[in-house]
Amino acid sequence: MNLKELGWNDFFQANANTYLNEGFEVGRISKEHRGLYHVITENDEIIAEVTGKFIFQAVERTEYPAVGDWVIIHSRITEQKATIHNILPRLSKFSRKIAGNTTEEQVVAANINTVFIVNSLNKDLNLRRIERYLVMTWESGANPVIILSKADLCGNIDEKLAEVERIALGVPIHVVSTVEDQGLSELSSYLQEGQTIALLGSSGVGKSTLTNKLVGKDILEVQSVRTDDDKGRHTTTHRELVIVPSGGMLIDTPGMRELQLWEADQHLEQSFEDIAQIAATCRFRDCSHQNEPACAVQAAIDHGELAEERFSSYLKLQKEIRFLERKADKRAELKEKEKWKKLSGDRTRVHKKR
């Protein structure tokens, strides 16, 4: 394929020139499984693994390739394999804190232009989860687009759409049904040459089915919804970049039960612009919006102008960000120690060889 069709641009070219002059090649990560990477190049798709030096120098999980990354490789044509020597700087990345108690970043998808936040219009519609996805998408550097799927299973679409519009100010929203081919043609405007879209959402909201429809053939496995609770079954087990024949690329992702923030302070206010505008009219500039007199936020809640659930969601996300900031300082300190520990070990080995 032409590299531009895969999303190659002047930014990546400038960062790759030194490597290219030394005889290396470039490719884009399409899939990762147990330490092996599928890399799409101009000529083929090959299996690759990182070098021993790469492993030694990497301190954190985010320093390893993620789906969507552009990587510097040395290919072995006869074996249809390659080694990955480096990752080019990322233009964007959608990250979350890894599941569990460990404070560590997981890059879900890299170098994406648009995030399709997919939420089904059946009983699984979750406004609070959409709010969280919006904050994380703005932080990623990509543009959010909300996809309300399974419209054929919803009897009150206008009501549900109005609920979502109230929390997604200025964000494009598309109502679709893959069963009835409703709304799919409107999504083609996002699928332009070199554009990458990540599909994110809970398990069973129809991400893989939507991917198959947009690609034009069944390339990803799908399953039907459960009849007992109207929720979809988990299908996708790994992230995968898929090329759309008409143009653009899609990254299908597994459903995430845990969706904890990662560095989202700058864009919290952007996602909750309505609350920020109301808060600006409080009597006190440092109003906590709890018990202060003349609090515009509490007045808006009392008058039904602001949903209490939305304000609670805002406070919860704000608290989560403060917690991450406290952890970040400790994490940076530990990372620096690990870096110097590796460098010291390397120097010791060199000295012994001499």
Would you say 209 is a known binding-site residue? yes
Give percent above pLDDT 90 in the chain. 58
**140 is known to lie in a ligand binding site:** no
Q: Which stretch of 152-161, 195-204, 223-232, 339-348 has the lowest confidence by average pLDDT?
A: 223-232
Q: Give the 3-state secondary structure of residue 125.
A: coil
Structural domains in the chain, CATH included, are 3-87 (2.40.50.140), 93-252 (3.40.50.300), 265-334 (1.10.40.50)
The answer to whether 52 is annotated as binding is no
Is 154 marked within a binding site? no
Residue 68 marked in a binding site: no
Mean local confidence (pLDDT), 178-187: 93
- 246 known member of a binding site: no
Q: What is the pLDDT of residues 196-231, one digit of tens each?
A: 999 998 888 989 899 999 998 776 565 555 444 444
Confidence of residue 347 (pLDDT cuts 50, 70, 90): low
- 227 marked among binding-site residues: no
Q: Is the pTM of this model over 0.95?
A: no
CA 204 to chain centre: 17
Q: Does the annotation flag 188 for ligand binding?
A: no
DSSP string, 6-26: GT--HHHHHHHHHHHHTT-EE
Q: Is 255 annotated as a binding residue?
A: no
Q: pLDDT of 52-102, one tens digit each?
A: 999 998 888 889 999 999 999 999 877 889 999 999 999 999 987 766 666
Burial class (CB in 10 A: 0-12, 13-18, 19+), 343: exposed
Establish whether 287 is an annotated binding residue: yes
Contacts 24+ apart (CB under 8 A), 278-284: 278/305, 278/306
- Confidence at residue 182, expressed as pLDDT on a 0 to 100 scale: 94
